[in-house]
Structure 1
Amino acid sequence: MDRVKKVIPFIIILIISLLAALPVWRNGFFPMHDDTQPTRIFEMHAALKDGQFPVRWVKDLGYGYGYPIFNFYGPLPYYLGAGFMFLGVDALVATKLVITFGMILAGLAFYLMAFGSWGKLAAAIGAVFYLLAPYHAVQLYVRGALGEFLAYAFLPLAFALFSGSPSRWKLVISTFGFAAVLLSHTISGFILVWFIVIYFLVKLAWYLLQKKNIDSFTKLQFVSVFLALGLSAFFWLPAFTEAQLTRVNKLSQGTNDFHNHFVYLDQLWDSAWGFAGSSTGRFDGMSFKIGKLHIIGVMAALVLLVWKRKQRLKVNLTQAILLFSGFILSIVMMLEISRWLWELMPYFEFIQYPWRFLMFACFFGSYIFLILWKQLNLLIRYTTVRYLIGFTVIMAAVIGYGKYFEPQYTNSKTAIDYTDPGKIAWDISKISDEYLPKDFPIPKTRDEVASQDFRESSAIIVKTQDVRSHRLHLSFSAQRAAEIFFSRAIFPEWRIILDGVKVEPEIENGKIQVGIPAGEHNLTVYLADTPVRLIGNYLSLISALVLLGFVIKTRQSR
C-alpha cells in the first residue's frame, strides 16, 4: 500500500503531462512563431553523423552557406532531438518526442525538487500548477520556443539545492539542472544567473551584517553554481565572446527592442488568449497571464503567513521571504516601472521581451503554493479532508488551465517540409539569420542561395570528395592555375590545408575561395576551434569529471 501511495503523485503528473502534450501527436504539425524546430534537429543530427562534437556549425541553414547556430543558440534540445533521430525516427517525430519529454519533465522535476521538504501532496499540487501555468502553453503552442520550453522543464532542478536541507545528491541535481537551463535557452540561463547573483549578494550582505562566517550550505550552493557554469562553458563562453562577429545586434533592435514589450499589470491577471505576437501597448496578440489560480494562491499564502505570524510557522520564514521576493521581482521586471533598470543593466537588451520573466513568475508562484499548503495544514486536522481539498485544487488547475494546451490548428506538414535542402536554404533560413557573420551578404532572392558545396573552374578535375558539415576534403588535378569557390560563409578558424600546408583563404563576398596551382593536389577545408572554444571545451570536461567524482563519492558513502 505504501508503494502505491508513493507512485500515485507520479501517475497523476504523468497523465496530466501526456494530456497537455497530446495535441502535438495529431497528424501533421501546428503553426508557431519559431517554425524551425524540426529543421534544427535535422541539422544537429546531420552534424553529429559527420563527426562534429560539440556541434557549432550546420551545413544547410544560412542560405546554404552554413550557419554557426549552435555556437550561439542553446543546443541541448537539439542534441536530445538528434538522439531520437539516431533511434530511427524522422525529424518531425523527434521534435514531438522532445516536446513530450519536456512536458513530462516540467512536472516531475518540480515534484522531485519539492517532495522531500514539503511532502508528496504539496509537491504534487505545486507540480501540476507549474506544469499547467498558461505561459507554459504559450511557450509551446503559441511561440514554439523549444529552447525556452525545455529550460522551463529543467528550472526546478536548478533550484534543488536551494530547497530544503543540503546534500551531495542535491548538489549533483542542481548543477545538472542549472547547466541544462543554460544549454537549453541562453536568455533564460542569463536571467537565472541574474537571480542567483542577487541571492548570493543578499546572503553575503547578511553574513557581513551578522559578522558570521559563510555556512557549509551556502558553500555547497557556490560550488554547484560554478560547476554548472563550468559544465556549460563549452557553449556559453564562445557564445558570449564571439557574438560580436555576427549580426546578433538585430535581436535587440526594431520590433525586438525591449522598450516596446513591457506588460501592463492587469495583463498579468487576465489578457486575451491569442496566437499572434507581442506588440507595443495593449495591442498584443498573445496572452501574458500568470494564471488567476496562481495569483489567488500567492495572495492566500501571504494572508495566512501574516495571520499565523504569532504562531509556530510550518515554513522557513527566510525561504518564504525569498520566494515572495522572487515572485514580486519577476512581476516588476515585466512592467514599465523597471525601464530604468533595463537601460542600466548590461546585456539586458538581448532579453528582448520583458515578459520572458513570466517563466520565473510561474516558478515562484507555483512554489509559493507549497507555503500555502503547509499553512493550510494548520487549519485542517483530518488527512482525508486534506487529500480531498488537494484533489479539488488539482482539478481546478486542470479545468481552468487545460484548455490553453491546444494549438490554433493542425496543418498537414510532414518531415520533408522541414528537411528538404531547398526549403532549408531559403524558406527556413529566412526565419533566423542573425548568427551569420557581419560581413556576409544576405541573399535577397532564392536564386542567390547556395546550390552546391563548392564550385571549381573548368581546369580542375575532381577525383574524390568527402563533404561534411564542418569539413570538406577534395583530391583533384589542376591543368593550370585555377580557383575553387566553397559555399561556406567565412567564420573564425576555417582552415585550409593544401597538400599538407596551411594556406590563407581569399574572401569573396563573405565566402571562402582558394587559389590552386597547376598539378595534383589534396585540399582540406575544416572548421577548427578558436582558443576561446578550446578553453570552454576543457572547462566543461574538467567540470564533468569533478561532478562525476561527486557522484561516485556519494554512491560510495551510502
Structure 2
Amino acid sequence: MPRRDLYAVTVIVLSGILIFSVPLVHGIGLANDTLLHLVWLKDFVVSVENGYFIPRWLPESFNGLGSSTFYFYPPLPYYLGTVVTLFFDFEITRLLSVVTMLLIIFSGLSFYSLIRDKLSNNLAILFSLVYMFSPYHFIVDVGVRCALSELSSFIWYPIIFRSIIDIPTNKFSLITLSLALSGLFISHTISFLLFLPFWVSFLVFVSINSSRRSEFLFAGVFSIVICMLTTAFYWLPMVYYLDEIHASFWYNLDELIAHSFVGNTDKYDYGMQKNIAPIIDMVWLYLLSFLVFYFFVVYGTSKSGYGYFLFFLSAIGLFLVTTLSSFLWDFFYFAKRVQFSWRIFSVVEFLIIFSFAMHYKEVGVYLRRSRVFQYLLYFLLMIVVFYYIKLFSTYMVTVPQLKEAKALQIKALESSYGAEEYVPKYSDNKFREELESLSVDPVSFDESKVALKNLNVDHNLWKLEMEVLSPSEVVIKQFYFPTWKAINARTKESITVYPSTNEGLVTFEVGHDDSYLYIYIDVTPIEKYGIIISLVGLFLLFFLTVRNRQRIQFGMKGY
C-alpha cells in the first residue's frame, strides 16, 4: 500500500474510533431502532453459530415465538457483526456499537477511494471525514435512528460511482460495479431502489460524453444482471413469501408517506416523525443552501459537464423529499415501499459532497474572484457548525444516559421483542398486542390423549418424544410459517403442519405411531433455487476476473 494511502487509512480509522470511543465502552444509545437491531443481531449471530449460514428464521424473537425477519430483511450488516464475533467476544450491546463504527469507517474509506486521484491527500482525507460525519449520515442514521442497514448503503455509493468513472480505463471496473450493486442490494434494498435512477443517469451521462458508449451500456446491463443473480438467495424467497407476514404495517404506507415530506406541518403528530421532523427540515435547508451556492460556482467556472449534471441530480433528490413531489409518490406505487421520502437524503448528501470534492479547485477560483461568495460560504459553514454542535449535543448522549439505555436494552433482549411487520400473518390482533407479556407453554396438547416424555430444542430443531394414547392436536411455541416441517423420526413420513386458529402457532396432528417427531425450519425449493442462482452469478464473476487477468497478462484487451 502506498504511503499516502496508508496515512489516509490510518487517519480515517482513528477518527472513527475516536468519535465512537464512548459508545464502544458503554454501549450504543437508545435510538429509534436500537432494540430491533440488538435483537436481530443477537439472533443472527446465534443462528450462524448453530450452522444456519443463511439465517432466515429467528426462533428467540417475540418472546420465544420466532420471527421471519430475515426472509425479508437484508442481511449483510449482520454478517459483519458475525465476522467480528469470530475475533472478539463482545457482549451484544457493545457488538452493535462496533458494527456501527465499522460501517462509518468503511464509508469513509470508500469515499476516499473515489476522490483520492482528484485531490491532494489531505483534501481527500478531509472530504472523506466530511462524508463520514455529515448530518444525515451520522446524526440521523446513527444518533436518531440507529439505521444499521441504511448506514451500510453509504459504503456502496462511492464504489458504484468510481466503477462507472473507471469503465474505460480499469478492466476490472465492471466486476467492481457488479459487486458494489450486489452489496448495496443486500445491505439496504430500499437504498438500492432509491439510488438506481441516480447511478443509471450518471452512467448514461458519462457514456454520452465518451467515445466508448457501448462499453458503458454493456457495463450497466451486465452489472444489473449479475447483481440479480448473486443476490437471488435473498430476494427470491423474499418475493415468494411476501404474503406470509402480518401486513398492518404496510397498509399504512399511504399515511406514512403523506407525513414524511419536508414542508408538511402535520408530520409532527405522527409517531417517530415528531422527533425526527425538525432535524430532517434542518438537513434539507443545509443541503439546499450548499446546492444553491454550488450552482453559482459551477455556473461561473465549470468547464466540465460533471458540475451541471451532479447539480441537476442533487436538485432532483431535494425536490423528491418535499410536498411538491407527493404526486410522483402516488403515481409510482413501488416508491411507497421506501416508507419515508426523506431516505433520499442519503443519496443527495453523497452527491453534494462528491460534487464539491470534484470541483474543489473551481470553488477556490470562484471564491478568489468574489468576496461576496467568500462571506456567503463562511456564513453557511458557521450555520452548519452551529446546528451540528446543537444536534450532536442533543442526540449523542452522555455516559449516564448510555448506562441507562444499556439497562433498557438488556431488559428488551430478555424478551427478544421484534418488529411487528415481520410477525407471520396467521395470529389475530389481540394475540399480537399481548406478545410482550405473553406466557405460552413450549408444547401444548390434550393431556388426556398425549403424554410428553422428552423435549429437546436445538435452535430451529424441535425433538419430541411422546406417548400418544389417541389422535390429538399438538401446538409448539413458534409462529407458523410455510417453511416449518414435521416428520416422524422413525418412518421419515411428513406430517402436515398448519397454524392454530387464533394464535397462528405451529400445529400438527399426531397418531399412535407418532412417538418420535422432528419439527424444524426446512430449506425449501425456492431457497435452494436462490442459492444455486447466486452461486452461478459468483462463478461468472470469478470466471471473468480470471479471464481478464489472463488477457491483460498477455497484452490483450480485457472485458
Classify the TM-score, shorter chain.
Answer: 0.7 to 0.9
| Residue matched to 1:129 | 130
Instruction: After superposing the two structures, state which structure 1 stretch, 17-26 or 441-450, moved more.
Output: 441-450
Residues 336 and 291 (structure 1), Cα distance of their counterparts in 2 relative to 1, 3 Å cut: closer
Q: CA deviation at 1:235?
A: 1.4
> Distance between the aligned counterparts of 2:10 and 2:180, measured in 1?
23
Deviates most, 401-410 or 68-77: 401-410
| Cross-structure match for 2:152 | 150
2:472 paired residue number: 482
Match of 1:507 among 499, 512, 520: 499
Which residue in the other structure is 1:67 paired with? 67
CA RMSD of aligned residues (A): 3.7
Give SS of 1:53's match. Answer: coil
Mapped contact 1:161–1:221 kept (Cα < 8 A) = no
1:351 to 330, 338, 350: 338
1:326 lines up with 2:320 in the alignment? no
Q: What's the offset of the Cα at 1:33?
A: 0.7
* Residue in 1 that maps onto 2:402: 411
Correspondence for 1:175 = 178
Question: 1:502-541 alignment to 2 at 5 Å?
Answer: 502-509=494-501, 510-519=504-513, 521-541=515-535
The structure with the greater share of residues assigned to helix is 2
Compared with structure 1, are the counterparts of its residues 288 and 83 closer, same or farther at alpha carbon in structure 2 (3 Å cutoff)?
A: farther
- Counterpart check, 1:304 vs 2:263: no
CA contact (8 A) 1:64 1:450 kept: no
Deviation at 1:110, TM superposition (A): 0.7
For 1:7 and 1:227, the matched residues in 2 are separated by: 32
- 1:223 aligns to what? 222
Q: Given the alignment, which residue of 480, 483, 493 partners 1:493?
A: 483
Amino acid at match of 1:146: L
Corresponding residue of 1:160: 162
Per-residue Cα deviation, 1:451-476 (whole angstroms, up to 9, x for no partner): 44433544545555442343323344
TM-score, normalising length from structure 1? 0.82
Amino acid at match of 1:375: E
Corresponding residue for residue 103 of structure 1? 104
**Distance in structure 1 (CA, Å) of the matches to 2:444 and 2:412:** 18
The alignment status of 1:113 with 2:108, answered yes or no, reads no
1:255–1:413 Cα change, 3 Å: farther
| Residues 264 and 323 in structure 2, CA contact (< 8 A), matched pair in contact too | no
Distance apart, 1:28 and its partner CA = 4.3
The Cα of 1:492 is off from its aligned counterpart by: 1.9
CA contact (8 A) 1:301 1:375 kept: no
**Matching of residue 93 in structure 1 with residue 131 in structure 2:** no
CA separation in 2, counterparts of 1:49 and 1:489? 22
One-letter amino acid of the counterpart of residue 273, structure 2: S
Q: How does 1:264-413 map to 2 (within 5 A)?
A: 264=263, 277-279=272-274, 284-290=277-283, 297-308=290-301, 313=303, 316-317=304-305, 319-376=306-363, 401=388, 404-405=391-392, 406-409=395-398, 410-412=401-403
Residues 330, 344 of structure 1: alpha-carbon distance in 2 compared, 3 angstrom cutoff: same
Query: What is the SS of the residue equivalent to 2:116?
Result: helix
Shift of 1:222: 2.5
Deviation at 1:7, TM superposition (A): 3.2
Aligned residue for 1:31, secondary structure, equals coil
Q: Partners in 1 of 2:316 and 2:16 — Cα distance?
A: 29
Distance, in Å, in 2 between the alignment partners of 1:297 and 1:172 is 34
8 Å contact from structure 1 (residues 484, 514) kept in 2: yes
2:516 counterpart SS class: strand
Check 1:463–1:250 CA distance in 2 against 1; reply closer, same or farther (3 A cut): same
Q: Which moved more, 1:360-369 or 1:401-410?
A: 401-410
| Matches of 1:419 and 1:530, distance apart in 2 | 34
TM-score after normalising by structure 2: 0.82
Change (3 A) 1:119 1:553: farther
Secondary structure of residue in 1 paired with 2:62: coil
**Residue 79, structure 1, aligned to residue 68, structure 2:** no
The answer to whether 1:454 aligns with 2:460 is: no
**Counterpart contact for 1:183–1:235, Cα < 8 Å:** yes
Deviation for aligned residue 1:191:
1.1
Deviation at 1:161, TM superposition (A): 1.4
Q: CA deviation at 1:156?
A: 1.9
1:99 aligned partner, one-letter code? T
Letter in 2 for 1:142: V
Distance (Å, rounded) in 2 between the aligned partners of 1:220 and 1:254: 35
The 1:352–1:447 alpha-carbon spacing in structure 2 relative to 1, beyond 3 Å, is closer
Task: Return the offset for 1:284.
Answer: 2.9
Q: What is the CA–CA distance in structure 1 between the aligned matches of 2:436 and 2:136, rounded to whole Å?
A: 40
Corresponding residue number in structure 1 for 2:50: 50
Give the letter aligned to residue 228 of structure 1. C
Gaps of 5+ in 1: 267-271, 382-392
Q: What is the letter of the counterpart of residue 443 of structure 1?
A: R
- 1:328-351 Cα deviation digits (max 9, x unpaired): 111011011111110011221221
Looking at structure 2, the residues matched to 291 and 285 of structure 1 have their Cα atoms a distance apart, in angstroms, of 10
Unaligned runs of 5+ in 2: 369-379, 554-559
Q: Equivalents in 2 of 1:413, 1:97: separation in Å?
A: 19
Greater mean alpha carbon deviation, residues 93-102 or residues 371-380: 371-380
Distance 1:500 1:486, change over 3 A: same
Structure-2 residue corresponding to 1:387: none
Match of 1:424 among 415, 418, 427: 415
Shift of 1:450: 5.2
CA drift of 1:437 comes to 2.1
Q: Residue 443 in 1 paired to residue 432 in 2?
A: yes
Q: 1:500 to 1:414 in 2, by over 3 A?
A: farther
Give yes or no for the alignment of 1:188 onto 2:180.
Answer: no
* CA shift in 2, pair 1:455/1:481, >3 Å: same
Q: Distance in 2 between matches of 1:34 and 1:412?
A: 17
* In structure 1, C-alpha distance between the alignment counterparts of 2:278 and 2:167, rounded to whole Å: 43
Change beyond 3 A, Cα 1:296–1:13:
farther
Which stretch shifts more, 407-416 or 225-234?
Answer: 407-416
Cα deviation, residue 149, structure 1:
1.4
Amino acid at match of 1:367: F
How far did residue 145 of structure 1 move?
Answer: 1.2
CA distance in 1: counterparts of 2:390 and 2:142, whole angstroms? 13
**How far is 1:58 from its partner?**
0.4
Q: Percent identity?
A: 19
Per-residue deviation at 1:537?
Answer: 1.9
Decide whether aligned partners of structure 1 residues 366 and 142 sit closer, same or farther in structure 2, where only a CA change above 3 A counts.
Answer: same
| Map of 1:385 onto structure 2 | none
Quick check: 242-251 or 495-504, which moved more?
Answer: 242-251
- The Cα shift of 1:376 comes to 4.3
Give the 3 Å change call, closer, same or farther, for CA 75–467 of structure 1 in structure 2: same
CA contact (8 A) 1:454 1:484 kept: yes
Letter in 2 for 1:503: I
Q: Choose between structure 1 and 2 for higher RCO, CA contacts under 8 A separated by at least 6 residues.
A: 1
Distance 1:255 1:524, change over 3 A: same
More divergent stretch after superposition (442-451 vs 76-85)? 442-451
1:549 alignment counterpart: 543
1:82 to 1:230, Cα distance in 2 relative to 1, 3 A:
same
2:376 counterpart residue number: none
